[in-house]
Structure 1
Amino acid sequence: MTKKELEDKLDELKSDYVRIQSDLDKLVYVRGRASSAQEQLIRLEEEIAEVYKKLEEFED
């Protein structure tokens, strides 16, 4: 992947993270099933960390 593709992927992941976080807040408020949203957030955090790691390799 190119640096630009990684930056675009990072933007997409961050957008998804914010959306799911908002959904999770709503689920918690109405006492809905939040475990699925929490799992998605954890997965996104891992993907974001991986993209950051790959971006750092471009800096070296």
Structure 2
Amino acid sequence: MDRKQLEAKLLELKSDYIRIQGDLDKMEAVGGQVSPIEQQLERLEGEISAINDQLASK
């Protein structure tokens, strides 16, 4: 991927992260199961970190 594609992917992942974090807050408020949502956030954190590393090396 070129730099612009990486930056676009990073913005998409950050947007997803914010949305899912909101979902987590709602689930916690109603006492729902949060572990699957936490796993999604952890996966996104890993993807965001990987893209940041790629951007730093370009």
TM-score bracket relative to the smaller structure: over 0.9
Tell me the equivalent position of 2:6.
6
User: Under a length normalisation based on structure 1, what TM-score does the superposition of the two structures give?
Assistant: 0.95
Q: How does the TM-score come out when normalised to structure 2? A: 0.99
**What's the CA shift string for 1:4-48, capped at 9, x where partnerless?**
000000000000000000000000000001111000000000000
For structure 1, the residue ranges without an aligned partner over 5 or more in a row are: none
**Which runs of no fewer than 5 residues in structure 2 stay unpaired?**
none
Percent pairwise identity: 52
Q: Which runs of 4+ in 1 moved over 4 A?
A: none
